[in-house]
Structures are given as structure tokens and as C-alpha cells.
Amino acid sequence: SAPPEGAPEDLIAEIPDCRPIPDGPLRPDRADSPADDGAVSGGMTLRSPSGPPDIAGFDILSRLGRSGRGASFLCRHRASGRTTVVKVVRSSQQAKGGMLGLLREALANLAGLRHEGLASVLDYGVSDFGAAGWGFCLEMEYCAAGSVQRAAEEKGGRLPAHEVHDIIRGSLRGLAYAHALNVVHGNIKPANILLAADPAGGSAKVSDFALRRILESV
């Protein structure tokens, strides 16, 4: 029988080269992992507990956005000249016990993830301001095309099927790599999937990996 008048039609899209996820546990695909650029130092310094962020070695060019307890800034790394993104999170509450040590350990684990489907953490730093609180900063790979959410909004809320295929495929490869290392994202959404170039280029990178879970733990 015909569908009721005004009912939405079923949408079937054929997407080429769409292979099923294999059975069994997913393992890191080392062939997909870019060469490690060296150990991440964890040496970034956030100099102030409040006011405009002052990050040693970086010039802030603009604020990109704010979410939850943090804000993201487009920055220039003075020593290398690279354009990068720094996420800053601060709390006015004094750190208790070994909280900051656990936070450093969690951020170091994130910095160890290296895969073309993940936005790399390039450096990080945790700062203790005593009675004035604590904070941390996280330098991340800059993805010039912004988020999938922004790309969809710029196209009226929908992306072409072939672009969606590339984005999902790239994101799943990054997630599979992280899951095989027992690291879970915990907050996958279009705003947390970034595009290093035009979405047709298949350059989707999952970002803010496990940050929500880390913040909930401190």
C-alpha cells in the first residue's frame, strides 16, 4: 500500500568501496600511523589562573570556541612558526591529593596516540596555582577546514553521501586504533570530528579524545 500522504520517503544511497567491519577484535593498523615525531614533552606552561590565557611560547591569534569547562584558541608556536590549536581548561578550586598527577598521566596517554584518523596531541602542560586553582593546556593539530558540524551547516545541514562515507571511514579507522589500545573517546559527535582539508579529501580526524571523561574524573 502507498505510504500516508506527507510521510517521508525512504532514502537509499549506494556508497562505493564500503567494506564491512571485520569480525573479531580490532587491532591498531600501524601502516596507517604516521611516523612519530618524537616524545611529547608535557612541558607547556599556563601562566595565569584567570583572565586572558598566557601560554609560554605561544602567540594567541584568535579564540575558536568555548565548550564545557574549556576554550580553544588558534595560536602560533613561536619557536617553529607552526599554526596550532591550544585548548585551555582552568578551575578556581584548589587541586586535591594526587589529582594533578593523574591528570598529567591521562594527558600523556592522549599524547601517545598517533594515527591519521586522530587529531594529534602535540604537547600539553598542567599548572598548579595553589589556592587560586589549577589548569591545563593541550596543543593539538590544526585542521584548517574545521569540524564536520561546521561543514554540514555551511551546506544547509546535509553533506553529500560520498563525503559522509569518507568522514565515517576515516573516523572509524582512528577509533579502531584507539580502542585497540583501550582508549575510549566517550563523546563522539560532528563537532568533535575535524577536517584537515576539504571533506571530499577523506581527511577526517577525531578530536578531543577522552577529554570529557578526563574532566569528569577531576
Q: How far is CA 177 from the centre of its chain?
A: 15
pLDDT of residue 40: 59
Higher pLDDT, 147 or 6: 147
pLDDT of residue 198: 55
Q: What percent of the chain has pLDDT over 90?
A: 28
What is the pLDDT confidence band of residue 80, given thresholds at 50, 70 and 90? very high
What average pLDDT does the segment 72-98 reach? 91
Considering only 68-77, 78-87, 190-199, which range has the smallest mean pLDDT? 190-199
Strands 193-195 and 134-140: unpaired
pLDDT of residue 68: 67
* Amino acid symbol at 85: V
What is the pLDDT confidence band of residue 2, given thresholds at 50, 70 and 90? very low
The mean pLDDT value of the chain amounts to 78
What confidence tens digit (pLDDT) does each residue in 146-162 have? 889 988 999 888 888 88
What confidence tens digit (pLDDT) does each residue in 52-67 have? 889 999 999 999 888 7
**Cα–Cα distance between 9 and 11 in angstroms, integer?**
6
What is the pLDDT confidence band of residue 217, given thresholds at 50, 70 and 90? low
Whether the pLDDT of residue 200 is over 90: the answer is no
Cell of 140: 593539538
pTM of model > 0.85: no
Nearest to 113 by CA among 127, 102, 124: 124
Cα 197 to Cα 65, 77, 90, 116, distances in angstroms = 19, 21, 31, 13
pLDDT of residue 81: 93
Considering only 12-26, 163-177, 197-211, which range has the smallest mean pLDDT? 12-26
Higher pLDDT, 136 or 66: 136
What confidence tens digit (pLDDT) does each residue in 91-130 have? 888 988 888 888 888 888 888 888 889 998 999 999 999 9
pLDDT of residue 218: 64
Higher pLDDT, 176 or 109: 176
